[in-house]
Amino acid sequence: MSELTHSERPQRWDVPFDEDMTLADVDQVLAAKPFCDIDQSRFPQAIPLRGIIENEARILKYRAGDLVVRQGDYGNSAFFVIKGRVRVVVPLPNNELPESVLGRKLSKSKSVWESIAQVWKNPVVAEFRAKVQASSGQGEGDVLARGEGENTTVFLQDIPGVIKNHETVTIAQGEFFGEIAALGRTPRTATIFADEDGTELLEIKWQGLRDIRLFTPSIKQHIDKLYRQRSLNVQLGATAIFAHLNEAELQQVANRTEFHSIGSFDWHASYKKISQKSAAERLDDESLIYEEGGYPDSLVIIRAGFARVSVLKGNGHRTVGYISKGQSFGFREIAHNWRSEEPVTYQHSLRALGYVDILVVPSDIIQQYVLEKMSPTDLPAQFEMEEDQPGIDENMDAVALSSEHLSKTDVIEFMVENRYINGTATMIVDLDRCTRCDDCVRACASAHGNNPRFVRQGKHISNLMVAHACMHCQDPVCMIGCPTGAIHRQTGEGQVVINDLTCIGCSTCANSCPYENIRMVEVRSEQGAYIRDQDSQKPIVKATKCDLCAEQIGGPACQNACPHGALVRLDMKNPERLMDWISQ
């Protein structure tokens, strides 16, 4: 029997970010500031700085005008300028770069005549495309792209003309950018492109950046300072609890606020495996943020992600709600203790659903800047301990259901367990009302060139089914890693859509979607033949999914076409509408 060998390499490094990253590349990075000034002895043996650079970073080369990130993109990595420089287009109200310049899909509502005409003008073949790729030349109105496969980049050709009415700043060699969005998985706040040929950037995955920040105090201080300067006050001011504060008061709150990332950032990668476990096992896998029975010394505000609110029931926990971006936990308990001689503990437990980014505000800050300024009529109701059973807090921002509606509680549990709470336009079908007439499918096909964009199948609880249709998620993990930005969230309504011209068929979005709501299709010509790549002769593949009928009058055709009211698209941040719809 051969001797067993064991590798000390951490599991997360089994697949490097870039298999072409060489030792010479790593030496080049570590020789540059600020990496050369980092004390490598502070890093654990299992996670050395050299290992982070080798396995969780890659070097990218750009030509002048190549887009690096776009305003509104989602990403899980930050960038460091090794050579050259990049230019930031400063976002100003009503003065942003056109969507077409960024390689995004231009959507405009169809006229009444166009909506009617599509019934007989649609092609008869499946997945017909008149055009399948962006122009590599100067075609008028075309998106400009260069490169092949995953090396394809969208670029700005006439840079002076494109940015002449926009304010820009440069980021030079030796500087970081994109770290705030990477660590918090928030949309990129600006568009950035390479300012000169030969620009080289080090792209660092969020895990590597997190560890560099953890073991390098100077970089942690730098990133935390940037976050406080650029984002924290804005986020606190947008929360209803602090909306009444002036700038000076808001700054005092910000100075005492801590921010933490909890759980698995790449929750979607392991979700399918986790979903096969029992409810108790899934709960054990969720990171506990605050436990029922603990002293309420802090208010929690969700910055990104989702958290489960549960209460002890027998030997287990029952889910009574969930909170997401902008919502809070612990306010009623803090308010109760501020004005009562009989203090209460946290009435619920709070757990990270996959990944959650939180702001933690001490209770004394809440008392000083919020409770003391609230009128008695606006204060949340106190707990009557003899009467109140642990249940959902009516003043908490969580989605809640009363215990008398057990079937409704089961619905919420189902939505939480399957992460459907992520959806802003979740498709729900009442199978008792549905007659299988297929009007929804035909309407979807008519609205999209005879190509239906959803599958009327999915998980269900009792008579309710969640169909395989894009939910246009709050946390759209499908957008992470798209090399050309082809999948993006539209400005305005916020639908997640795909630009056929810049989609390179890499399947990154389809593989990332935890709900299996994106399909890869082989596209055809008007005659029905597969359109093939000129070099490989393989059929060209594109990603396709529901676009929420962004160009259609009146919104989703599937919902509008159902003659029995059996299908609805709902924002799960407000599931009371779902409960109202169920009881109709």
Report the candidate in 215, 292, 305 with the shortest Cα–Cα distance to residue 259.
Answer: 305
Other CB atoms within 10 A of residue 532 CB:
14
8: confidence class by pLDDT, cuts 50, 70, 90: very low
* CB-count burial class (<10 Å; 0-12, 13-18, 19+) for 445: middle
Q: What is the pLDDT of residue 490?
A: 83
Is residue 395 over pLDDT 50?
no
Tokens representing 517 are 């709501």
Hey, what domains does the chain have and what are their CATH numbers? 11-103+144-215 (2.60.120.10), 219-265+276-415 (2.60.120.10), 418-582 (no CATH)
User: What's the rounded Cα separation, in Å, for the pair 547 and 487?
Assistant: 11
Q: What is the pLDDT of residue 562?
A: 94
Is residue 290 over pLDDT 80?
yes
For the segment 236-262, the average pLDDT, to the nearest whole number, is 88
Q: What is the pLDDT of residue 407?
A: 60
Report the candidate in 406, 520, 415 with the shortest Cα–Cα distance to residue 459.
Answer: 415
Q: What is the pLDDT of residue 256?
A: 93
62: confidence class by pLDDT, cuts 50, 70, 90: very high
Per-chain mean pLDDT for the chain: 84
196: confidence class by pLDDT, cuts 50, 70, 90: very high
138: confidence class by pLDDT, cuts 50, 70, 90: very low
142-154 pLDDT per residue, tens: 568 887 777 788 8
User: What's the rounded Cα separation, in Å, for the pair 75 and 470?
Assistant: 19
For the segment 435-443, the average pLDDT, to the nearest whole number, is 93
What is the DSSP secondary structure assignment for residue 58, as one 8-state letter? E
320-364 pLDDT per residue, tens: 888 988 899 999 999 999 998 899 999 999 999 888 889 999 999
What is the DSSP secondary structure assignment for residue 17, as one 8-state letter? S
Q: What is the pLDDT of residue 139?
A: 40
Q: What is the pLDDT of residue 388?
A: 46
- What does each C-alpha distance from 286 to 186, 238, 266 come to in angstroms? 22, 28, 13
For the segment 519-534, the average pLDDT, to the nearest whole number, is 89
Determine the angle formed by the axes of helices 439-447 and 112-121, rounding to 10 degrees.
100
User: What's the rounded Cα separation, in Å, for the pair 386 and 407?
Assistant: 26
Q: What is the pLDDT of residue 129?
A: 83
Residue with tokens 């010479």: 24
77-136 pLDDT per residue, tens: 899 999 999 999 988 877 788 888 888 877 777 776 777 777 677 787 888 887 777 765
537-548 pLDDT per residue, tens: 889 999 999 999
Q: What is the pLDDT of residue 11?
A: 57
The amino acid present at 547, given as its one-letter code, is D
Q: What is the pLDDT of residue 376?
A: 84
Q: What is the pLDDT of residue 88?
A: 94
For the segment 444-453, the average pLDDT, to the nearest whole number, is 89
**CA 468 to the chain's CA centroid:** 19
142-192 pLDDT per residue, tens: 568 887 777 788 888 888 888 888 899 999 999 899 988 887 777 888 999
Tokens representing 149 are 């496969």
